[in-house]
Structure 1
Amino acid sequence: MAAFEAAARPFPTGPTGLGTSAARIGSPRRPVTATPAGGGRRSVPELYCPPHLRDDPALGREVNDRLVRWAERVGIYAGRLERFRQADYGRLLMLTHPDTDDPDRLLAAARCMAAEFAVDDHFCEEAAGGDHPERLGPQLMLAQSAIDPAQLPRGHAEAYQREMDRQPVWNALRRAVQGLAPYTTGAQLNRLRQEIAGLFLGMDAEAGWRIGGTLPAVWEYLANRQLNSFLPCLALVDAMGGYELPAQVYGSPEVRRATLQAALASVLLNDVYSAHKESGAQGVEYNLPIVIAAEAGCSGAEALQRAADLHNELVRSFEASAAELSLTGGPVLTRYLGALWAWLGGNKEWHASSPRYNQP
């Protein structure tokens, strides 16, 4: 698998940058254009990011078809399954994990991602619409309980289990994490639980801003976005590749710094691609360009460019961090860092083409 080999090779230092010739940035100065599902084109600012390493449409379709059938079984996106299908999360998993072509393994990660998106689309969307945002905290607490089940006394366990089965999002989260067991070690699963807990903490903070009717400062928004990011997805890159980055390496300060740089960059790219949709939404939306525009008093176009600049700075910082770590970190760490780099490229390609972010 050439894509896997390219992602796994050591990172050269110097002007060639992170990765091999197959993963070089190429011409990042050109603005990116996206074609919305309904036709027409909209421009996205320059985004410094690696290219995706493979595109296997048949594999993406297979994973996506299986994922839609699973979503129907567990009950998420009821009445919206066709829109869920069109978002094409199977393609996202195919693009972001080029070191495996096993549809079962990719589906296991896809189910986790879909369940996490369902938390946002079901619970956070309801809070954003002004429908009792104070409920979001308890909903997220029980969502975390679904992935790390509470061990209740006998007299209360039945009611708890009944509610976990009844609520589609909690049910999806529980089953998704259970479905990872054949592909992960206990340490990798525990890592994922911790990263999802951070994700839910970030979502809960946004509900606090909504209740107070306030916009955060840009630095505060970015600190929150570090939590409310694609970090749970990135936490699975080694499991998807069929290896394990040891817990003591994953948690070391230098590796943690690089991982968080990649995670924040990945979600700021999301902010850039979703800005056009969220700027027209009812009520207050919490998006980096919106927060920048409010704080700096600048136009939406300038705020969007500033958001893209922050993304680009983070990708370059990760590139430098990973190149330095690869010199002394050993082959497993180098492989992990290459997988993060590949994930960033696949994430960008999906955002540029998914109807979730490109509908007019």
Structure 2
Amino acid sequence: MPDPGLSPLPPVSLPAPPPASPPAPLSPIERILRGPSGLGTSTLSLARRPEPAAVTAPEPAAVTEPTDVPVPAAPSASPEPAAPVDALHIPGLYYHPVPEPDPVRVAEVSRRIKDWAVDEVALFPDDWEGEFDGFSVGRYMVACHPDAPTVEHLMLATRLMVAENAVDDMYCENHGGSPVGLGGRLLLAHTALDPLHLPAEYHTGWAESLGSDAPRRAYRSAMQYFVDRSTSSQADRFRHDMARLHLGYLAEGAWAETDHMPEVWEYLAMRQFNNFRPCPTITDTVGGYELPADLHAQPAMQRVLALAGNASTIVNDLYSYTKELATPGRHLNLPVVIAEREGLSEKDAYLKAIEVHNDLMRAFEAESAQLAAACPLPTVLRFLRGVAVWVDGNHYWHQTNTYRYSLPDFW
């Protein structure tokens, strides 16, 4: 019985708990790593981890499929190999030397690509043979793709590289190329990569047109080999990057027709499309694995690829400078545009172009490191490393191809 001398305590009113804050939105990469949510989706995540943790980038995964030529060891990050003594040296240029490419693979790729060019697609007349050999495409591709599991994987990149250069030379440049009518030629060549879907009545005419000139024969054949080894998303990725390339060709051709000297930023915009990007973007196909389409499409990955392509293409501007100045007419490259638009001497414009390249390279490396830390999946890390190796191999080829290139006497 309650004590009659005690009054009951008044009820205590507690404040209502504050409403829960909505969770912070996930970034695109976090959404991919988390995977889908909901009933029955627990096994669908790309990477289930209880807590994010720092991960050191691994070496590329060991290749288990049969190889017809031994896979060379991956390049070591430290110490860096020395550049060949007889190579071209641009003072102040930021780059990483690479090991000499495996000579066995170089010889085999060189033999196979010439057989393909001569016997399968009739790419060039006999009097162009020396120039074809001097391109040294076997050495180029072996340096750019040291993790390719077989020579046939290397040939995927090699055929496409040769076909792309055939289109550039024969449609745009000094082997019969012209800006006049360029759009029509590029459109029809692109159908060798991205097939037309026509009524039966008109299909035959298009199919026959694919063999009508060397660039289209080369595109058709190289793409068929690529499609046979790649996934559907990898093939579509490549078609997209080739459309970018062709758009860049058209811009440069239009400027040539109208005698337009672009601003420096306009020129760099053109070079972001007319550049090497289709080559490093297939590094996973050549390596025998796949970077998933949703990871490839992430803005951070697209920025890395754009910077890699831009830096690699300015390398071409620097090493081909004297070669292009020796050709008839005015050939646009970054030093020429800087000299014209910023009122600099040829030497000072060339030196500033080196600085532009170095800025692009450092931005590429910084963005790659950030993406690797944000998304440390094995395929992402391997792909980023493959792109970096491609950039270095591209520089190696330019630096050592003294058949094609020489440097201005600015030092």
Which band: TM-score by shorter chain?
Answer: 0.7 to 0.9
Shift of 1:212: 0.3
Give the distance between the partners of 1:26 and 1:54, measured in 2 at CA.
12
Match of 1:15 in 2: none
Give 1 or 2 for the bigger CA radius of gyration: 2
Match of 1:197 in 2: 243
Match of 2:383 in 1: 336
Asked if structure 2 preserves the Cα contact closer than 8 Å seen for 1:53 and 1:98, the reply is no
Give the distance between the partners of 1:203 and 1:231, measured in 2 at CA.
13
**Alignment CA distance shift 1:34-1:159 (3 Å):** farther
Please point out which of 152, 164, 167 is paired with 1:104.
Answer: 152
Shift of 1:344: 1.1
Match of 1:230 in 2: 276
Q: Point out where structure 1 has 5 or more consecutive residues left out of the alignment.
A: 10-19, 37-41
Give the distance between the partners of 2:317 and 2:406, measured in 1 at CA.
15
Asked if structure 2 preserves the Cα contact closer than 8 Å seen for 1:60 and 1:91, the reply is yes
Give the distance between the partners of 1:225 and 1:76, measured in 2 at CA.
26
**Alignment CA distance shift 1:174-1:286 (3 Å):** same
Shift of 1:69: 1.4
Give the distance between the partners of 1:215 and 1:359, measured in 2 at CA.
25
**Alignment CA distance shift 1:166-1:313 (3 Å):** same
Moved more, 104-113 or 73-82: 73-82
> Hey, which bits of structure 1, 4+ residues long, moved more than 3 A?
5-9, 24-28, 32-36
**Alignment CA distance shift 1:190-1:356 (3 Å):** farther
Match of 2:331 in 1: 285
Report 1:291-302 matches (<5 A).
Answer: 291-302=337-348
Match of 2:225 in 1: 179
Shift of 1:8: 3.6
Amino acid at match of 2:193: I
Give the distance between the partners of 2:86 and 2:405, measured in 1 at CA.
7
**Alignment CA distance shift 1:196-1:246 (3 Å):** same
Asked if structure 1 preserves the Cα contact closer than 8 Å seen for 2:153 and 2:288, the reply is no
Give the distance between the partners of 2:221 and 2:94, measured in 1 at CA.
36
Aligned length: 336
**Alignment CA distance shift 1:34-1:148 (3 Å):** farther
The CA deviation string for residues 260-299 of structure 1, in whole angstroms up to 9 with x for no partner, is 1111101111111000111122101011111111111212
Match of 1:39 in 2: none
Match of 2:77 in 1: 23
Give the distance between the partners of 2:329 and 2:147, measured in 1 at CA.
41
Please point out which of 185, 203, 210 is paired with 1:157.
Answer: 203
Amino acid at match of 1:353: T
Shift of 1:27: 10
Shift of 1:117: 0.6
Report 1:138-153 matches (<5 A).
Answer: 138-153=184-199
Q: Point out where structure 2 has 5 or more consecutive residues left out of the alignment.
A: 1-56, 62-73
**Alignment CA distance shift 1:206-1:65 (3 Å):** same
Match of 2:16 in 1: none
Asked if structure 2 preserves the Cα contact closer than 8 Å seen for 1:25 and 1:48, the reply is no
Match of 1:119 in 2: 167
**Alignment CA distance shift 1:94-1:43 (3 Å):** closer
Asked if structure 1 preserves the Cα contact closer than 8 Å seen for 2:149 and 2:287, the reply is no
Indicate the SS of the match to 1:98. coil
- When normalised by structure 2's length, the TM-score is 0.77
Amino acid at match of 1:111: R
**Alignment CA distance shift 1:33-1:226 (3 Å):** farther
The CA deviation string for residues 131-174 of structure 1, in whole angstroms up to 9 with x for no partner, is 75221111111111111111222222222222211211111101
Indicate the SS of the match to 1:307. helix
Asked if structure 1 preserves the Cα contact closer than 8 Å seen for 2:247 and 2:273, the reply is yes
**Alignment CA distance shift 1:282-1:21 (3 Å):** closer
**Alignment CA distance shift 1:317-1:7 (3 Å):** farther
Amino acid at match of 1:352: Q
Please point out which of 139, 142, 160 is paired with 1:91.
Answer: 139
Give the distance between the partners of 1:162 and 1:77, measured in 2 at CA.
20
Asked if structure 2 preserves the Cα contact closer than 8 Å seen for 1:59 and 1:103, the reply is yes
Asked if structure 1 preserves the Cα contact closer than 8 Å seen for 2:322 and 2:406, the reply is no
Give the distance between the partners of 1:81 and 1:250, measured in 2 at CA.
38
Asked if structure 2 preserves the Cα contact closer than 8 Å seen for 1:34 and 1:44, the reply is no
Match of 2:70 in 1: none
Report 1:197-216 matches (<5 A).
Answer: 197-216=243-262
Give the distance between the partners of 2:334 and 2:111, measured in 1 at CA.
33
Give the distance between the partners of 1:164 and 1:68, measured in 2 at CA.
21
Give the distance between the partners of 1:242 and 1:213, measured in 2 at CA.
45
| Aligned-pair Cα RMSD in Å | 2.4
Moved more, 79-88 or 194-203: 79-88
Give the distance between the partners of 1:89 and 1:27, measured in 2 at CA.
21
Shift of 1:50: 2.1
Shift of 1:21: 8.9
Asked if structure 2 preserves the Cα contact closer than 8 Å seen for 1:124 and 1:203, the reply is yes
Amino acid at match of 2:232: G
Give the distance between the partners of 2:79 and 2:204, measured in 1 at CA.
54
